Homo-oligomer: A and B are copies of this chain.
Amino acid sequence: MGRIVLPRHATPFHLTLALDPRDGRQASQLAAALVRAIAEGQLHDGDPLPSTRSLARHLGLARSAVVAAYEELSAAGFLVATAGSATRVGPGARSASLAGAYTHPTEAEPQSAGAEGTAHPIRLDLRPGHPDPGLIDDRDWARAWRRAAAAPLQPPADAVTALRPGFGHSFHEPLRRALAEHLRRNRAVVCDAADVFLFPGVNAALRALVGLVGEPDRAIAFEEPGYSTGRRALESSGARVRPIPVDAEGLRVDDLGDEWGCYVTPAHQYPLGSRMSVARRAALLDWATAHDALILEDDYDGEFRYDVAPMPSLHSMNAGAERVIYLGTASKMLARELRVAWVVLPRRLREPMQDFLARTGDSVNPVAAAALAEFVDSGALVRQLARAQRGYAARRSRFTEACRDLLPGLVLQGIEAGLHVVLRLPAGIDDRALRDRLLVDGLACQALSDYWLGDPGAGESKSGGLVCGYARLPETRAREAAALIAAALARIQAEPGAPPA
């Protein structure tokens, strides 16, 4: 600890500052030394400090370090900076310093490498659930945000709802209106703007739904395998989840019991990719009516289908508007960056949800909401969907062709719609092990087994699989991806003790 004596600004006596390297970087050393000087009584309340320039020169420090130390101590109340005059010791600084009102900062540790330390560079990213932001028209994107930012900042919510503290949730009417119209035209979901509720994500919506309509004494049915993140969102809100197996027609409705609700992905079952048959849809609605239950229809990538006719959403069917809670998201159709999801509620739930949201205070970012409304209203979203549909169709065809060529024995599931397929593996192959090997090779995808709540081996679909999103896989690299998978699979099958190929 070196002690440096320096003349005080405009005063005849000297100030002794002891800089201690253990106090971290220069600014921190100086700040700590000044607090010690205050505590020791060298500096009194109201005393002027040297100018930053002269103190830096005397101490041999960068002037920026002195400025930073003065700023830090001013913010902490030890010093008072006055424009046009010297920085002074603040009133009460000595008692504060004696009361220990200053912790000398420690140097920032280097960021721990954590899990990332073991990451391999990904050359082929086939993880599902991510659209290709490269398909978005940059000008449309920039214009939507520019217009959203140019709008006048929102006044506070109306006075009456805001009278009770905590009320004043913003519901963003322009986006609700734009989405109601978009959903009617594009997904045959007929609703009022007032039935559309906005959330910062589908998982936030699921949590709110448990709070609003969940019943503690009854479980909620969930597809098995299913969208694990959504399942965890329900569970974290206190819902008891009962897994119901999925077959080629979708959720096995006959296995349902007296649940209060049922979560399904009928447009493209996540992760298996099947489309729920019309007969199964009708049966599901019948079940809901018979048990006074609700259907949570997650239409997460319902906009994307290939070479097949669209199927009606559950919401658009008889009794659907009464029984179905329709969930959608901008994450797949546009970009996850918007963080906007929506829920269309049966009309009788409109006011309860308004009250619920006003109480909990969650809401979407209003500038993002305005940007998305601009996207919808300007027609940019419809253009985007058409462009994305073409792009994804081409990538899907090239990847599935490559898989059929290079992995001829394997079954591809879920190719009719959505943004991912499932490559079913031969019996006995551990899909998680294969996925881990592929990651080392630079190909990221997911293991089907991870989507089961129970034991995958116990269900009808015994074998494992790779869940491969092709949305961001360039057509030119489809064969490379399939070849990597084929090679990794062959290596596993060649190992001693592996199941016969």
Contacts and interface: CB of A to CB of B under 8 A. Distances in A.
Nearest to A71: B185
B367 A312 contact: no
A160 B116 contact: yes
A85 interface: no
A100 B323 CA distance: 14
Interface string A100-140: 11110110110110111011101001010010011010000
Contacts of A164: 450
Contact of A359 (B68, B232, B360): B232
Nearest to A187: B75
Nearest to A125: B156
Chain A contact-residue range equals 35 or more
A171 to B, nearest CB: 11
Interface stretch (A91-99, A247-255, A407-415): A91-99
Contacts of A184: 72, 105
Contacts of A318: 100-103
A290 interface: no
Given A99-B279, A119-B160, A312 B76 contact: yes
Contacts of A144: 149
A186 B81 CA distance: 13
A142 B149 contact: yes
Interface in A327-348: 335-339, 347
Interface of A: 28, 68, 71-78, 80, 90-92, 95-96, 99-103, 105-106, 108-109, 111-112, 114-116, 118-120, 122, 125, 127, 130, 133-134, 136, 141-142, 144-146, 148-150, 152-154, 156, 158-166, 184-188, 190, 192-194, 200-201, 203-204, 211, 227-229, 232-233, 236, 278-279, 281-282, 309-313, 316-321, 335-339, 347, 351, 354, 359-368, 371, 435-436, 439, 444, 446, 450-451
